[in-house]
A and B are shown apart, each in its own frame.
Chain A
Amino acid sequence: MGTTRMDRRLFLKAAGATAGAATTLQVGCLSYFKKGRSAAADNREVPTTCELCPNKCSAIAVVEKGVVKKLNPNPENPKSRDMLCARGNAAIKQVYDPDRLKQPMIRVGARGEGKWKAVSWDEAFDFAAKKLAEVKAKHGPEGTLWSSTEGFQEVFFKNLGLAFGSPNLVRHPTLCLASVNLAYSATFGTVPSFDLLNSKFVIMSGANRFESIITPDTMDLIGGVMERKAKLVYLDPRFTVTAAKADEWYPIKPGTDLAFILAMIHVIIKENRHSKDFVAAYTTGFDQLAEHVKPYTPEWAEKETEIPAKDIVRIAREFSDAAPRALYYAGRRSSWYQNDFQMRRAQAILNAIVGNWDQVGGMVPNAKLPKGEFLFMPWDEPKAPRVDEIDKHFPLAAKGDGVYLKLRENVLSGKPYPVKAWMVYKQDPMNAMPDQAKTLKMIEGMDFIGVIDVQMSDMAWYADVVFPESTYLERTDPVEVMAGIWPAVVYRQQVVKPIHDTKPNLEIVQGLARRLGLADYFDYTIEQWVEAEFKELPIPLAAEHMKKHGVWAASGQPSYGKTLTPDHRFVTKTGKIELFSERLQEAGADPLPVYSAPVPPPSDRFRLILGRVGYFTHANQTNNVWLNEHMKENDLWINPKPAERLGIRSGSIVQVTSSVGTVKLKARVTEEIRPDCVFMLHGFGKKSKMQSLVYNVGASDAVLLETAWDKVSGNAAFHETFVKVANA
């Protein structure tokens, strides 16, 4: 059988055999077009980069008579290799979705009423520019808010906001992983990658890697757990797919993960199991840490977490024995409690004291690659301070990303100043932000809302004008560097011409800029931008290579240990890995992670916990017909014990009520959750009728969630809401 590529198992085996068991497993740069694989005469195969999540997996689009028929994984990508998840495969339906936005539209009815008028691009641009200019005249440029989420063309949208003069750009991290990023930065001066491909022992707190999002990390970890016998210890109030695959699952009492980690640190230091050489050479504050964790005994942690003390001791021993090939994995699943930053800090500290830094199977600082930059005309820095008062309340947070929930509070109060126009790119704050009623109130207070998206999201549904963006398969985007253990460069090129009257984001930005007197700042084409980036890539014949392959991997051979030299300075205040952080202390935060117990739910309530399933993950995928047919609506998971008490049966409709909202959805009575929690999936119960498969189907978690955030990072705390559940 002439299969074109080696099966990964075989490949790993071969790599292991040549390199020897003690060294790293390698990833290879396999080729898509080997023997046998050729396109039929009227087919084209175009390499590109998936956009359905931020992982930048490489894909090859098969185009037949101008129609995208199939997306195949492109094995030349050293991270995604020969995989493409359900979403990646279903991207085709994003292009051919009958619900997608097909031309610019201006609202004619009341906001949210769903009455639209199809307009020309000129009309849409003129209308938006006039409204933005009006707000600027009345409130200054800072009276405008610019929200966006991760995307290769996000840069153009942000630049328009800045060129317009607004300091108020707000990005997704504080609804996602800002607490992780900040905690690792505060400790190591950088956010590392986790070498799951080579790790022997992995602990995860709710980072539900086998279920909630399928990425290269998922692939590396499942291979590790199932093939190389890496051990996985998993903490989650719910029995997830990751729990099912783990060697050990602990249904930890929600919000107590920090106690578990502090007790692990306690055991490791008490039993002298930390890496003394590493701690001495590269860290600062160990003595303070040792003193700090003395009260955090396994017996104490057992009471907090409901994980037996003897297991905590054993896990701490096994973890330190496996180090440096041991990881407390941060993952994406972050920002669930108000102590989230400190919980992530404790993970970082635990990882540091066993010395699994910059080594095979440990945490590895990301290798980067240079790329060229297109030099555009610079603008003056916005003069006004940010409306979210990030400097005052979250001095350590990333200024450019802003802090979503605090921003909403301030916009609603009108202080420190009014914000009256809201431009949104690719983001759906209606579902991404907790407390939808508050978001609606913020929407009501706006004089103008403009949304750029490929589909009529709930946010777009409440906009005044909607600009339809071309899908990723219909456009060419800037070049992206994938920093990591195996750094690579990826390129997204147009696969088919736009099938509707849509435009790539850059052209939408340019249309607005022209009418706002900002045309000079955006005086370039995507081709010129990309050419400039190609120029400084360390790739021979870069443009040619990227167009032909879509990806370039620096080397199949990762490099470890670059920071493990006596003169290396970490990007921290002391130049060391900071176990104790003076910088945190100066910012008014605990310099070492201090535990505070979560408030338990009252006896008549449950803690609402959330999650994602990998074939949607993000709320913007539930209306994709190829994904939706695998789950048509979400339901409320409830343990049989409380369900019996409340007379709730599987399939019956329940009413779920928090202090900020009420929803109705079907119940799922299941053993796979703690009795003190209920669970629901993200991304259903849409308000937009142009999300026809999920309009009013199931319920949106955003309706129920209360406003709460992590104190240090400002990250939304998604698991701090208690709900009442009753038969409807």
Chain B
Amino acid sequence: MAMKKRRYALVIDSRKCINCKACAVACKAENEVPIGNFRNWINEEHQGEYPKLRIDFEPEQCHHCEHPSCVRVCPTGASWQRKDGVVLVAEDDCIGCRYCMIACPYDARYFHEESGTVHKCTFCTHRIDGGVLPACVETCPSKVRVFGDLEDPASRIHELLSTRRHHVKEPQTGNGPQLYYLV
């Protein structure tokens, strides 16, 4: 049976983010992320002078790029990409050289002291492969993140990207990031 082509991506509506950290704590539990490390986080930008002020929040994590530089630089092939676009690290092959950490334009990887390998967001493959949303997407109180398959024209992310203005971060790197931020 031929598998349907899939391309997982995340659409982020930053305006709805209230910096509540539910995503970060859910990820911490789901993926046993060590204290002090994060697979996802929220950027903050504060602007203006009292009383004309502005705060912007922007959730971020691995962008699961189309042409991931982390995969290109990995000397052992431990950093790899699934057919559905998810970028992963094969722990058994990782030698902890951390080239990938330097190559990532988004600083989305961390070195796991205990295992001596590099860890990162997996889009919760263990959940999505069973049809369950990634932990950060599911728990979010204001539903900032929309996860889905770009190849599925009926998906919510497909609809959002075809009707709403959006941008990606650091497009000049040529990495082809797959986190889409609604404008």
Cβ-defined contact, A626 with B141, below 8 A: no
Contacts of A72 in B (CB 8 A): 135, 138-139
B171 in the interface, Cβ–Cβ < 8 Å? no
Q: Is the CB of B142 within 8 A of A89?
A: no
Q: Give the CA-CA distance A210 to B48 in the complex, in Å.
A: 20
Q: How far is the CB of A558 from chain B (nearest CB, A)?
A: 20
Hey, which chain A residues are within 8 Å of B55, CB to CB?
239, 241, 244, 672
Bound: A87/B21 CA distance, A: 9
Stretch at the interface among A219-227, A292-300, A711-719: A219-227
User: Does B16 contact A627, Cβ atoms closer than 8 Å?
Assistant: no
User: Known: A70-B29, A70-B135, A73-B138. Contact between A241 and B50, CB under 8 A?
Assistant: no
B132 at the interface (CB under 8 A from A): yes
Q: Is the pair A226, B149 in contact by a Cβ cutoff of 8 Å?
A: no
List, in ascending order, chain B residues with CB within 8 A of A244's CB: 53-56
B142 touches which of A222, A249, A640, A672 (Cβ 8 Å): A222
Query: What residues on A are CB-neighbors of B142 within 8 Å?
Result: 218-219, 222-223, 226
B6 contacts partner chain A, Cβ-Cβ < 8 Å: yes
Residue B19, interface by CB 8 Å: yes
Q: Is A615 an interface residue (CB 8 A)?
A: yes
Which A residues are in CB contact (< 8 Å) with B146? 7, 9
Tell me, rounded to whole Å, the shortest Cβ–Cβ distance linking A458 to chain B. 24
- Name the residue of chain B whose CB is nearest to the CB of A82: B138
Q: Is the CB of A626 within 8 A of B50?
A: no
Chain B residues with CB under 8 A of A615: 20-21, 25
Complex Cα spacing A226 to B16, Å: 6
Contact yes or no, B53 A90, CB < 8 A = no
Residues from 116 to 130 in B contacting A, C-beta threshold 8 Å: 128, 130
Indicate if B140 sits at the interface (CB-CB under 8 A): yes
Segment among A30-38, A536-544, A548-556 that sits at the interface with chain B: A30-38
A86 vs B29: C-alpha distance in the bound complex, in angstroms?
11
- A92 to B132, Cβ gap below 8 A? no
User: Is B130 touching A37 in the complex (CB atoms < 8 A)?
Assistant: yes
CB <8 Å contact, B35 and A7: no
CB contact between A10 and one of B21, B36, B156 (< 8 Å): that residue: B156
Q: Is B15 part of the binding interface, using a Cβ–Cβ cutoff of 8 Å?
A: yes
Q: Once bound together, how far apart are the Cα atoms of A219 and B152, in whole Å?
A: 28
Residues of A within 8 A of B46 (CB): 670-672
Contacts of B139 in A (CB 8 A): 72-73, 83-85, 88-89
The answer on a CB contact under 8 Å between A89 and B156 is: no
Contact residue among A4, A86, A239, A249 (Cβ-Cβ distance under 8 Å from B20): A86
Number of interface residues of B (CB under 8 A): 46
Question: Which residues on A sit within 8 Å (CB–CB) of B147?
Answer: 1, 3
Q: Which of B3-59 contact A (CB under 8 A)?
A: 6, 8, 13, 15-16, 18-22, 24-26, 28-30, 35-36, 46, 48-51, 53-56
**B residues less than 8 Å from A590 (CB atoms):** none
Contact A36 B131 (CB under 8 A): yes
Q: How far is the CA of A654 from the CA of B10 in the complex (A)?
A: 44
* Residue among B51, B142, B148 with the highest chain A CB neighbour number at 10 A: B142
Chain A 409-460 interface residues, beta-carbon cutoff 8 Å to B: none
Q: Find out whether the CB atom of B135 lies under 8 angstroms from the CB atom of A210.
A: no
Does B115 reach chain A (CB closer than 8 Å)?
no
Q: Complex formed: what's the CA distance from A673 to B48 in Å?
A: 12
Contact check, A251 vs B141: say whether CB atoms are below 8 A apart: no
Q: What is the chain B residue whose CB lies nearest that of A624?
A: B25
**Complex Cα–Cα for A77 and B146 (A):** 21
Q: A89-B25, A239-B53 are in contact. Are A8 and B148 (CB under 8 A)?
A: no
* Residues of A in contact with B, size category: 35 or more
Q: Is the CB of B21 within 8 A of A675?
A: no
Write out the residue numbers on chain A whose beta carbons fall within 8 Å of the beta carbon of B8: 1
Judged by a CB distance under 8 angstroms, whether A630 is at the interface is: yes
Q: Does A153 contact B (CB under 8 A)?
A: no
Q: Does A211 contact B (CB under 8 A)?
A: yes
Q: Are A639 and B50 closer than 8 Å at their CB atoms?
A: yes
A608 on the B face (CB < 8 A): no
Q: How far is the CA of A245 from the CA of B17 in the complex (A)?
A: 9
B143 at the interface (CB under 8 A from A): yes
> How distant is the Cα of A84 from the Cα of B139 in the complex, in angstroms?
5
Is residue B76 within 8 Å, beta carbon to beta carbon, of the partner chain? no
**Contact assessment for B16 and A222 in the assembled complex, using a CB-CB cutoff below 8 Å:** yes
The interface residues of chain A lying within 8 Å CB-to-CB of B22 are: 83-86, 88-89, 214
Contacts of B26 in A (CB 8 A): 84, 89
Whether, in the assembled complex, B161 has its beta carbon less than 8 Å from a beta carbon of chain A, the answer is no
Interface status of B73 (Cβ within 8 A of chain A): no
Contact: B30 with A70, CB < 8 Å? yes
Measured CB to CB, the nearest residue on chain B to A71 is B29
Q: Which residue of A lies closest to B149 (CB)?
A: A1
Check: A614 CB closer than 8 A to any chain B CB.
yes
A10 to B131, CA, bound (A): 17
B173 within 8 A of A: no
Contacts of B56 in A (CB 8 A): 244
**Beyond A37-B131, A37-B132, is A614–B143 a contact (Cβ under 8 Å)?**
no
- Within the assembled complex, what's the spacing in Å between the Cα atoms of A486 and B76? 55
Contact B18 A38 (CB under 8 A): no
In the docked arrangement, what's the CA distance between A639 and B51, Å?
Answer: 11
Give every chain A residue within 8 A of B30 (Cβ-Cβ).
70
Report the minimal beta-carbon distance from B63 to chain A, rounded to whole angstroms: 18
B143 touches A7 (CB 8 A): yes
B13 to chain A, nearest CB (A): 7
Q: Does A344 contact B (CB under 8 A)?
A: no
Q: Is A321 an interface residue (CB 8 A)?
A: no
Does A576 touch B at the CB level, under 8 Å? no
Expressed in whole angstroms, the Cα–Cα distance for A88 and B139 within the complex equals 10
Bound Cα distance A38, B131 (Å): 10
Interface 0/1 of A625-656, CB less than 8 Å to B: 11101100000000110000000000000000
What distance in Å separates the Cβ of B7 from its nearest Cβ neighbour in chain A?
A: 10
A83 in contact with B140 (CB, 8 Å) = yes
A1-18 CB contacts (< 8 Å) to partner B:
1-5, 7-10
- B143: chain A residues at CB < 8 Å are 7-9, 219, 223
Q: From known contacts A36-B130, A38-B130, A219-B142, infer whether A1 and B18 are also in contact, taking CB-CB under 8 Å.
A: no
Inter-subunit contact B25/A241 (CB<8 Å) = no
Flag whether B103 is at the interface (Cβ < 8 A): no
Distance (Å) between the CB of B137 and the closest chain A CB?
9
Per-position contact with A for B88-117: 1 when CB-CB < 8 Å, else 0? 000000000000000000000000000000
Contacts of B130 in A (CB 8 A): 36-38
Interface string of A34-61 (1 = CB under 8 A from B): 0111100000000000000000000000
> Given A7-B146, A630-B24: A83 and B54 within 8 A (CB)?
no
- List 17 A–B pairs whose Cβ atoms lie within 8 Å, in order of A's numbering: A1-B131, A1-B147, A38-B130, A72-B135, A84-B22, A218-B18, A218-B141, A241-B19, A244-B54, A614-B18, A614-B20, A614-B21, A627-B21, A671-B46, A671-B48, A671-B49, A672-B55
9 more contacts with CB within 8 A, not counting A4-B132, A92-B29, are A4-B131, A37-B130, A222-B142, A245-B18, A614-B18, A626-B25, A626-B35, A672-B46, A673-B50
Task: Sort A-B residue pairs by CB-CB distance and give the 10 closest, nearest first.
Answer: A36-B131, A2-B131, A1-B149, A244-B55, A89-B25, A222-B142, A86-B21, A83-B141, A210-B18, A671-B50
